[in-house]
Amino acid sequence: MATINNNYLKLKAGYLFPEIARRVNAFAEANPDAKIIRLGIGDVTEPLPAACRTAMIKAVEDMGDRDSFKGYGPEQGYAWLREKIAARDFQARGCEVDASEIFVSDGSKCDCGNILDIFGDRNTIAVTDPVYPVYVDTNVMAGHTGDANGGTHPARNRGEYEGLIYLPITAENNFTAQIPSQPVDLIYLCFPNNPTGSTATREHLQAWVDYARANGSIIFFDAAYEAFITDPNIPHSIYEIEGARECAIEFRSFSKNAGFTGTRCALTVVPKTLTGKAADGSDVELWKLWNRRQSTKFNGVSYIVQRGAEAVYSEEGQTQVKALIDFYMENARIIREKLTAAGLAVYGGVNAPYVWVKTPSGLSSWDFFDRLLSTCNVVGTPGSGFGAAGEGYFRISAFNSRENVEEAMQRITAKFKM
């Protein structure tokens, strides 16, 4: 009789965004005339940059010609793309990242989950609370979270998964976690932050890097939203921080900056200087393990999509990507201003496409979600869906058309003016 991975039974019933979609679909079915505006999942709405489309069309033509046709590509990604990424995203910012340390993939969500394949199952793992749910759920699936919910550690004793260390990020600590007092082996950091829209200063990141090096920890640095940073003093990459090559893996994506959520292209940086301990106490290069993992379980991103991603670095592509980012950040500004004027406490939305809102009148996150959906026909994301410390907060995404954002703000401010 085939048995299952019992860890899946420990997962919460549904992943956050499908659960939201389920509720929204039920509402839409019951209210067919409602004009629902979706500011929930951070999915882009504006078309792919013309430079990317042109490059992909050309790549399709390449595939129709025996001389330029491509079969399997390199598992790590084509060198012409990795070299551009290394030069433009990293070396131009003074980061010592070589093209050989870049692994092109079909998404940061996959990479954040898959990376656990190369780590042991006895690591102590820290996540912020609230947090992008993929970090938690993939650790539950891998059996890293103990047998039950609960736990006795004061930081965990909040109905969360035993075996994970939760670092609360709230308005009180400016949405930046306190460095743990105990040693932690794997640490997930996401800056600009999903869901709170906060950023980390150079000093804060340096403190994490110093901590990680002192404890032999590895930082998983999710920089999927780095392109939305507007403050020139905020680091875009963990490798801008001294010592990070000894302790950090960075995840990046073309999804949010270049509109690739449906096209799929991302990258992970694993410096060759990174090591982890084998059971016999020896140091093993993580790059070698990740390369082995990817070349066994992954056949690379399609040639066509990689040509599209390459076009992001052309002059035309850069201008078009900047216009997309400016567009969404103007949406974020409108959301912040309208909600602030309505008397709501808002955070984020300055260096990130997410606005984090304190729910009015002490409403729970899900109550506010239901209220907003039923009275304004606007969808957001309940803060508690990102963790216990997100209770009483609500995330509004800036990814939508200007018309929809303005209309949604008009509806919300009319109903919720404090």
Task: Catalog residues that contact ligand MLT under the rule CB under 6 A.
Answer: 41-43, 109, 194
Nearer to ligand MLT, 25 or 68 (CB): 25
CA nearest neighbour of 187 among 114, 249, 241: 249
- Smallest gap from residue 325 Cβ to ligand MLT (A): 16
CA-CA distance, 406 to 11, in Å (whole number)? 37
- Smallest gap from residue 231 Cβ to ligand MLT (A): 22
Nearer to ligand MLT, 104 or 342 (CB): 104
- Smallest gap from residue 109 Cβ to ligand MLT (A): 5
Nearer to ligand MLT, 49 or 383 (CB): 383
Nearer to ligand MLT, 42 or 235 (CB): 42
- Smallest gap from residue 312 Cβ to ligand MLT (A): 18
Nearer to ligand MLT, 193 or 377 (CB): 193
Nearer to ligand MLT, 43 or 106 (CB): 43
Q: What is the DSSP string of 99-144?
A: GGGEEEES-HHHHHHHGGGGS-SS--EEEEES--HHHHHHHHHTT-
- Smallest gap from residue 194 Cβ to ligand MLT (A): 5
Pairing status of strand 125-129 against strand 164-168: parallel
Nearer to ligand MLT, 219 or 352 (CB): 352
Element spanning 331, H or E? helix 315-341
Return phi, psi of residue 361, to 5°: 50, 35
- Smallest gap from residue 100 Cβ to ligand MLT (A): 27
- Smallest gap from residue 375 Cβ to ligand MLT (A): 23
- Smallest gap from residue 355 Cβ to ligand MLT (A): 13
Whether 328 and 192 have beta carbons less than 8 Å apart is answered as: no
Nearest residue relative to ligand MLT (C-beta): 42
- Smallest gap from residue 41 Cβ to ligand MLT (A): 4
297: helix, strand or coil: helix
CA-CA distance, 241 to 207, in Å (whole number)? 10
337-341 LR contacts (CB < 8 Å, sep 24+): 338/409, 338/410, 338/412, 338/413, 339/396, 339/409, 339/412, 339/413, 341/413
Whether 380 and 367 have beta carbons less than 8 Å apart is answered as: no
* Sign of CA pseudo-dihedral 164, 169, 172, 174: positive
Nearer to ligand MLT, 43 or 162 (CB): 43
List the structure tokens of 236: 């875009």
Nearer to ligand MLT, 137 or 160 (CB): 137
Q: Going by C-beta distance under 8 Å and a sequence separation of 6 or more, which residues neighbour residue 10? A: 140, 145, 147, 148, 149, 161
- Smallest gap from residue 399 Cβ to ligand MLT (A): 8
CA-CA distance, 240 to 231, in Å (whole number)? 15
Nearer to ligand MLT, 217 or 253 (CB): 253
CA-CA distance, 320 to 315, in Å (whole number)? 9
DSSP state of 244: G
